[in-house]
Structure 1
Amino acid sequence: MSLEFSPSDETPDFECVIAALDDCACREIIAILEEPMTVEAIAEATERPLSTTYRKLDCLTEAGLAEEAVGVREGRHRKARYVANLERISIGLDEDNELRVDVDYASGASIWSELQGGH
């Protein structure tokens, strides 16, 4: 099985990260994403409706706190999987005394992206 991650070279927006961290459902999803999971598996594990799960995953991926991977084949279609890709989040002041957020990405998340080359 190969997993392909969508590109995300942009630094996440401060407000976007804070909004995701302030959301109980988003934090709950981050806590269970130790390895790639389908949306259906995430919804079942968190006991949330699929529609809510999709919205929260959109918030997490936009904030750069989770990544979407594609690789599970079901018939002729591929199913998206998601994995948390952060190790630590720091909030501090920059040189202009404005709040900024730094996300340290987990080295373990790269193991999933390395699988894409090992068809």
Structure 2
Amino acid sequence: MDTTTCPRCKQTINSQAVTCPFCRTELKAYGHPGIPLHRAAGDEYLCETCTYHIDDTCNYPKRPHAKECTLYQNEEERKLELQQKNQKPSLNVSINNWIRRNQGLLMIFGLLLICFLLVLSRS
């Protein structure tokens, strides 16, 4: 069971919970239990660090003073993800990815090698 912490009462709860069973704080969007509800900490607003506010594509009515939002995307986290995607993978990672993509080809090559060795050992 995946667990998380309630942002209000700090109790450990099931990550799939729609509301906190201890303090009844809503944790997911109303009527949409699969969508997380992001909350601002303290007196800050979510819009200050949201990608959609920064690039001016947000159409949320409470913008720029939203304390709760289902579409919130942290700009700093997005930048880190893009940096990680753009980094060149190491040789070891590249080889592992190639092996995973070509398992069938490697199995056929292995079987051919075994057959070749058997033929050589009989002659």
TM-score interval for Structure 1 and Structure 2 normalised by the shorter chain: under 0.3
The structure with the greater share of residues assigned to strand is 1
Normalised TM-score (structure 1): 0.25
Rg comparison, structure with higher value: 2
Q: TM-score, normalised by structure 2?
A: 0.24
